[in-house]
Amino acid sequence: MTAEIQTEEKTRPRRAWWAILGALAAVLLILPAVVFFAVPPTSSPWADKTGVPHGLHLTRVDGNIKITEAGTILDSVDVHGQVVVLAPDVIIRNSIVRGESGGTNGGVIDAMAGAANLQVIDSELFATAPSPYVNGIMGSNFTLTRVDIHGVVDQVHIVGDNVTISDSWLHDNLHYDEDPVHDGGPTHDDNVQIQIGRDIVIENSSLSGAWNAVVQITQDRGEVADVTFRNNEADGGWCSINVAQDDYGPVDGITVTGNVFGRNTRRDDCAIISPPTSPVALEDNRFTDGEPIRVRRGD
């Protein structure tokens, strides 16, 4: 079943050459004051295991897409805009979502409505227009399978229950040395940030390239519980997994099993940091050289 979608078309006015040259000059003048970097995607075997299958023809769609009918399927499209999901049982597969050309505020896929059972499969998400305000997918009640997300601040930003990330590649975050979101300090980019929610699974995936954390649990919006991190490759961040209780008390049900952690953390060899009151159940985790990991004790 392929249901109707509402598309917000965007027109591109003709511009005189002098206007274009003027705009380019303005960018060159501003650029030194607004410094960002998006690390170019690295060569990785994950490039062949995630994203749109090679050789598949995609149909270009210009403008934002607002999905309001249950059971909508987006298949083999290249969306030059944002996708906002407001209906249950939506499937996005074999597709690219690039965000708005003028810059996206929020996720290039917006699942903030929390509509049940969103599935994103064999797709790629990134920001055509980099900014401190753009993320990959934001919301709850979604599953990512073989998805490649890069060139955004947080690849996955969770604000609710029932999220699964499987067989996916989260990498090469956007990072700003001077970020207006953080009062001019550096961007707190994460591969996965969890602000509230339970029943969250991250498995069989590769996560790297974030400045702040591979998985950041903040409890900024409410309680987090039942988080499983298993059979992943993880590297980067201040500490790769960072658990912060905030004002909501202990985080229950954190399980970390069968993962391989890199040592490219800003705090030396810090795979996991968590307060003693939020215990982490560990089994068969190691660094890339085979040394077992341990949990460092945070506040």
Read off the pLDDT of residues 173-191 as tens digits, 9 standing for 90 and up: 999 987 687 677 888 999 9
> How far is it, in rounded angstroms, from Cα 160 to Cα 139?
6
The confidence score (pLDDT) of residue 142 equals: 98
Question: What range defines the domain where residue 205 resides?
Answer: 49-297
CATH of the domain at 229: 2.160.20.10
Classify residue 21: in a domain, yes or no. Answer: no
Determine the Cα–Cα distance for residues 230 and 243; give it in Å rounded to an integer.
16
Dihedral angle of Cα 129, 135, 139, 145, to the nearest 10 degrees: 100
Q: What is the pLDDT of residue 40?
A: 45
78: helix, coil or strand? Answer: strand
pLDDT for the residue numbered 12: 35
- 251, 258, 255: which is closest to 234 by C-alpha? 258
The CA-based dihedral angle spanning residues 89, 3, 94, 151, taken in that order and rounded to the nearest 10 degrees: -70
d(CA 165, CA 95): 17
Within-domain flag for 28? no
Percent over 70 (pLDDT), the chain: 85
Q: Could you tell me which of 118, 125, 129 has the C-alpha nearest to residue 149?
A: 125
Residue 194 pLDDT > 60:
yes
Provide the pLDDT confidence category of residue 23 given band limits of 50, 70 and 90.
very low
Instruction: Say if 30 falls within a structural domain.
Output: no
201, with CB counted inside 10 A (0-12, 13-18, 19+), is middle
Q: So what's the pLDDT on residue 6?
A: 53
Residue 163 scores a pLDDT above 60: yes
Judge whether 272 lies within some domain: yes
In a domain, 19, yes or no: no
pLDDT in tens, 70-85: 999 999 999 999 999 9
Count of structural domains within the chain? 1
Dihedral pair phi/psi, residue 284, rounded to 5°: 60, 50
Confidence of residue 243 (pLDDT cuts 50, 70, 90): very high
- Give yes or no for residue 27 having a pLDDT over 90: no
What is the pLDDT at residue 299? Answer: 61
What is the pLDDT averaged over residues 129-140? 96
Q: What is the pLDDT of residue 8?
A: 47
Collapsing DSSP to helix, strand or coil, 194 comes out as strand
Q: How far is CA 231 from the centre of its chain?
A: 19
Is 268 part of a structural domain of the chain?
yes
Cα dihedral sign for 229, 47, 105, 108?
A: negative
Over 70: is that where the pLDDT of 32 sits? no
pLDDT by residue (tens digit) across 271-293?
999 999 999 999 999 999 999 99
Nearest residue to 233 (alpha-carbon basis) of 256, 211, 261: 261
Which candidate, 173, 79, 175, places its Cα nearest to that of 120?
A: 79
